[in-house]
Amino acid sequence: MAGQASKDEEGGRHGPGPAMTLLLTNARILTMDGARTEHERGWLRIEGTTIAALAPGDAPQVAGAEIIDCGGDLVMPGLVNTHCHLAMTLFRGLGEDVDDRLYRYILPLERHFVGPEMVRIGTALAALESIMGGTTSVADMYYFETMVGEVMAASGLRAIVGQTLADFSPPDHADFDEGFARVEELVDRFAGHPLVIPSIAPHAPYSTGRAVMARIADWSADHPHVPVQMHLAESTLEVEWAKNTHAASTVAVTRDAGLLKPGLIAAHCLQLDDADIAMMAEAGVGVATNPRSNGKAGRGIAPIEALRKAGLPAGIGSDGAMSGNTLDLFAQFAPVSMFAKLRAGSRRPLPAVDVITMATIEGARVLGLADKVGSLAVGKQADLIRIDLSAPRLHPIYDIYAMLVFATLPTDIRATMVAGRWLMVDRQVQTLERDKVLADATQLAGQFRAEMARIDERLRQ
């Protein structure tokens, strides 16, 4: 349906750069503001990067404004992907059902191929998918993160780009000193960038260690505007590590290192007890839940209801496409909802409006961006998506949130805007060369396949 139902006459009006004044009229508007205000039919005025006005009814005339009639389409905040490894999109579905694929394929392939060029291509493929999936902000953790920042800047997406630090000799640092140098380079490059926010990303407690976590906490105290991201309480192995090395929970080890602090973006958070949740709430961290990644790995269901009841903001993450296979958040909505209900054994937890809250304003809170994005309100950045509601699959519409959570597909999104700039119009991404990105990715995937064949051959001998 998407694309076919597009309005040709608009094509020419969506320029690649921000218009000075843009009026979106005749839109069904979901603001996701504090009162969850909805307008059955309303309009938005965008000045440069910013929402200057929005209201129900007919738009007032504005001299010289570009006017886009949304024809009853839904306009809502762009989605916030709180956890991703963008470049790993190149590993999507690789060795899917091979039990030891991490050690057999992924780690050898990462050692062999991960460099600025692989990261450039993988991140571009991920940006293409993210924009087409209605994501407007994304938090990334990977290697050669300065390159990730470059690609994200070019794509026009809002991004927190996290340089990973780990002790397993990852592709871009032999030791933590080198890792910190990567972080410094990243911070220098993107300090003050309007869309790309540099970030430091200790991989996980067990792969960083308490001493280095303490060093990162100190560094972070000196760099209060650099977000910290980390995998936390993801696996039983991690729980065992914390117990064996520190006789404590992995959350307690992180707290003792000084890293459990306001603004920490904690991904996964599966293996938690009540004391851990209380510690996290007291520290004021944010949670990024990744249900498809966790579900596919059989790792369990995050206690999202308990975390949110304790006052922790929880956003939704796609994780890398190697783990979750897709990067759009629509694929995560039904799992987020179902997992909460299955965990509780009841239909009651996490109503649809809460899932959409998590994907927008609450996710923005997790990323420290809630003053800028996550809801449609005057003075906020114009990060929004326009959704075609014409598919039979969406009808009847009794409840717009339920429709979004359980029936809407990323292909229903007609247009994606970040900071007043259209990144996609009529399903066509404006900021990246789709064919070139796909060709580069396919070429690299061919090299991966050849290397996998060599690995299999060696293991047969």
Q: d(Cα 294, Cα 305) in Å, to the nearest integer?
A: 16
214 vs 297, beta carbon nearer its own copies:
297
Does residue 296 belong to the site contacting its own copies (CB under 8 A)?
A: yes
Coil, strand, or helix at residue 3? coil
Contact residue for its own copies among 181, 397, 450, 453 (CB under 8 A):
397
3-state secondary structure of 429: strand
Instruction: Put residue 168 in one of left, alpha, beta given phi > 0 → left and psi -120 to 50 → alpha.
Output: alpha
- Which of 348, 371, 436, 453 is the binder for its own copies (CB under 8 A)? 348
Residues in Cβ contact with 149 at an 8 Å cutoff, skipping those fewer than 6 apart: 159, 161, 186, 189, 190, 193, 196, 198
- Which residues, 6+ apart, have CB-to-CB distance to 436 below 8 Å? none
Give least dist CB 96 to its own copies, A.
4
Residues in 414-453 at the binding interface with its own copies, rule: CB under 8 A? 427, 434, 437-438, 441-442, 444-445, 448-449
- Which of the residues 169 through 228 are near its own copies (CB under 8 A)? none
Concatenating the DSSP letter of every residue in 73-139 gives -EEEEPEEEEEE-GGGGGGTTTTTT-TTHIIIIIHHHHHHH-SHHHHHHHHHHHHHHHHHTTEEEEE
Per CB under 8 A, the list member of 227, 303, 410, 420 interacting with its own copies is: 410
For the bound state, the minimum distance from the C-beta of residue 400 to its own copies, rounded and expressed in Å, comes to: 9
Return the number of the residue (25 or 411) whose C-beta is nearest its own copies.
411
* 258-287 binders of its own copies (CB under 8 A): none
Query: Of 381 and 408, which has the nearer Cβ to its own copies?
Result: 408
Closest CA to 424 of 373, 376, 380, 383: 383
346 sits near its own copies (criterion: CB under 8 A): yes
CB-based contact 384:136 (threshold 8 Å): yes
Minimum distance of its own copies from residue 92's CB (angstroms): 6
DSSP string, 126-143: HHHHHHHTTEEEEEEEES
Q: Of 58, 96, 117, 456, which one interacts with its own copies (CB under 8 A)? A: 96
| Site for its own copies contains 454 (CB under 8 A) | no
Copy the structure tokens of residue 158.
């809002």
Among 8, 9, 97, 222, binds its own copies (CB under 8 A): 97
Binding to its own copies in span 310-329, by CB under 8 A = 324-328
Q: By CB under 8 A, how many residues form the interface with its own copies?
A: 73
Q: How far is the CB of 179 from its own copies (least distance, A)?
A: 29
* Distance, CA of 142 to CA of 47 (rounded, Å): 34
Q: Give least dist CB 244 to its own copies, A.
A: 21
Of 334 and 455, CB closest to its own copies: 334
Query: Minimum distance between the CB of residue 7 and its own copies, rounded to whole angstroms?
Result: 14
Least CB distance to its own copies at residue 449 (A):
7
Secondary structure (DSSP) of 272-333: --HHHHHHHHHHT-EEEE-HHHHHHTT-----HHHHHHTT--EEE----HHHHS---SHHHH
Residue 1 vs 214, nearer CB to its own copies: 1
Cis before residue 349, ω within 30 degrees of 0?
Answer: no
The alpha-carbon radius of gyration of the chain (Å, integer) is 22
Residue from the set 34, 63, 396, 458 that interacts with its own copies by CB under 8 A: 396
Q: Which stretch binds its own copies (CB under 8 A): 13-21, 44-52, 340-348, 364-372?
A: 340-348
- CA separation for the pair 14, 179 (Å, rounded): 41
Determine whether 21 is exposed, middle or buried from the number of CB atoms within 10 Å of its CB (0-12, 13-18, 19+). Answer: middle
Question: Which of 154, 214, 252, 334 lies at the binding interface for its own copies (CB under 8 A)?
Answer: 334
H/E stretch holding 41 reads: strand 38-47
Among 399, 450, 454, 456, binds its own copies (CB under 8 A): 399
Within 54-93, which residues bind its own copies (CB under 8 A)? 90, 92-93
Q: Which CB sits closer to its own copies, 21 or 325?
A: 325
Of the pair 189, 299, the CB lying nearest its own copies is at: 299
- When the beta carbons of 231 and 255 are compared against its own copies, the nearer one is 231
- Determine the interface stretch with its own copies among 2-10, 28-36, 155-163, 213-221 (rule: CB under 8 A): 2-10
Return the half-sphere exposure (C-beta side, CA atoms, 13 A cut-off) of residue 149: 26
Given a contact cutoff of 8 angstroms between Cβ atoms, the answer to whether 165 and 173 are in contact is: yes
Q: How far is the CB of 363 from its own copies (least distance, A)?
A: 20
Q: Under the criterion CB under 8 A, does residue 154 sit at the interface with its own copies? A: no
28 contributes a contact to its own copies by CB under 8 A: no
Q: Which is nearer to its own copies, 67 or 409 (CB)?
A: 409
